[in-house]
């Protein structure tokens, strides 16, 4: 969850980097946390859906991740054409990971409720 939050936060910080060194630092942290997220994606999928469906869940996650990665750059270019800057595109790119991180915080709570209903 922390890596997901930091990915969103680092995306939003890119327009605030006015010095090249700051941009390098933001990109390094973003890459580190992105790597952490990719590494924990399989165990999270395993925990959520079980051993039988984990391969399908990972494929579904990667398929869903491909949509914004394919559609995002043309939308960012459109925003740049309309607004004259890429800043809004970077701010908007940081919102989904922040929302996703917030949603991941509720997973333990949902599991506890399911266990209580089973009892």
pLDDT in tens, the chain (119 residues): 888 889 999 999 999 999 999 999 999 999 999 898 888 888 888 888 888 888 888 888 889 888 888 998 999 999 999 999 999 999 998 998 899 888 888 888 888 888 888 88
CA distance 113 to 103: 16
Tokens 């946390």 belong to 33
pLDDT given for residue 103 in this prediction: 86
In 3-state terms, what secondary structure has residue 19?
coil
Prediction pTM value: 0.75
Q: What is the pLDDT of residue 89?
A: 92
Query: Are the CB atoms for 89 and 75 separated by under 8 Å?
Result: yes
**pLDDT (0 to 100) of residue 62:** 87
Half-sphere exposure of 89 (CA within 13 A, CB side): 18
């Amino acid at each position: 969850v922390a890596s997901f939050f930091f990915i969103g936060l680092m995306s939003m910080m890119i327009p605030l980097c006015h010095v090249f060194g700051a941009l390098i630092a933001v990109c390094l942290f973003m890459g580190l946390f992105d790597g952490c997220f990719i590494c924990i994606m399989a165990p999270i999928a395993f925990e959520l859906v079980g051993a039988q469906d984990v391969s399908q869940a990972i494929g579904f996650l990667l398929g869903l991740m491909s949509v914004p990665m394919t559609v995002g750059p043309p939308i960012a270019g459109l925003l740049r054409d309309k607004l004259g800057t890429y800043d809004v595109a970077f701010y908007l790119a940081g919102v989904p990971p922040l929302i996703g991180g917030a949603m991941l915080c509720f997973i333990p709570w949902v599991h506890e409720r399911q266990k209580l209903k089973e009892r």
